[in-house]
Amino acid sequence: MDLSTLQKKVDSIRPYFPDAWEVSCATEVASVYFPHMIIDNFFTEEELDEIRKHQAPVTGKEINISHSLIESSGEIKSSVFDSAFLTAVDQRYRRPLQAILGELCGSKQALYEFSDFHMVSTGPDYQHAIHDDIPKKLLSVVIYISPEHNNGTFIHQSRYDSTPVGEVEWKPNRAFVFSRVDRKTWHSYAANKRDQRFCVIYNLNVRKAYKAHWAEGNYLKFLEKFLKNE
């Protein structure tokens, strides 16, 4: 997919987006193929106020993840937020995110079964390994929350190239959105050695990896996972 095609796809679904969203897109980061969108002003101020209450105190290389789950049926599973808050989030954002998934990888759109809504607090020295995201993540969405300045998401040429080629820069209330491409969407993250790093991970998921492998055209992996019912 070239940039012109992606821009046309994004323009076609703008009516689904909340009015406050400022959306841009790109197919590469520093010449590495990595189709993605950046959304500024993702959450409302009221939502941000509630989310910020749940930043965990972490130091050094610590990481703390507070898990919540929203089923496609609307059922909420969370020890962090009350159901009313996550129901409102789901009603506001599920449709635009599904529309984005449909344009980034249309073959995955019908596979959606549930959403993650996780609070991720990492200490100043935490570093996360290079990865391309697991197949069950149909649409990956990370929203930077606080502090005002930190590292964003680093983009890599390969799993074994530790020097990033570029970065999706940090900005509070900015979302970095993509649909994984097997062995291509290599990325990592790390705090800036001074401050905690606090994000929301808001993914659209399927439970069986083999379904995603089929949608990606990765038929050998599909067969492997299908035979294991994984």
- Domains in the chain and their CATH numbers? 3-227 (2.60.120.620)
pLDDT, average across residues 124-149? 96
Contacts with 89 (C-beta within 8 Å, 6 or more apart), sequence order? 47, 70, 117
Overall size of the chain counted in residues: 230
End-to-end CA distance of the chain: 29
* Phi, psi of 153, deg, nearest 5: -120, 130
Taking the whole predicted model, whether its pTM rises above 0.85 is answered as yes
User: Is it the case that residue 144 has pLDDT exceeding 90?
Assistant: yes
32-70 pLDDT, tens digit per residue, is 999 999 999 999 999 999 999 999 999 999 999 999 999
User: Is it the case that residue 108 has pLDDT exceeding 90?
Assistant: yes
Q: From the CB of residue 140, how many other CB atoms can be counted at a distance below 10 Å?
A: 23
**β-pair type (204-205, 127-131):** unpaired
Percent of the chain with pLDDT over 90: 96
What pLDDT sits at residue 11? 95
pLDDT, average across residues 3-25? 95
162: alpha, beta or left, given left = phi > 0 and alpha = psi -120 to 50?
alpha
pLDDT, average across residues 17-41? 95
What pLDDT sits at residue 9? 94
User: Is it the case that residue 31 has pLDDT exceeding 90?
Assistant: no
Contact 173, 48 (CB under 8 A): yes
What pLDDT sits at residue 30? 87
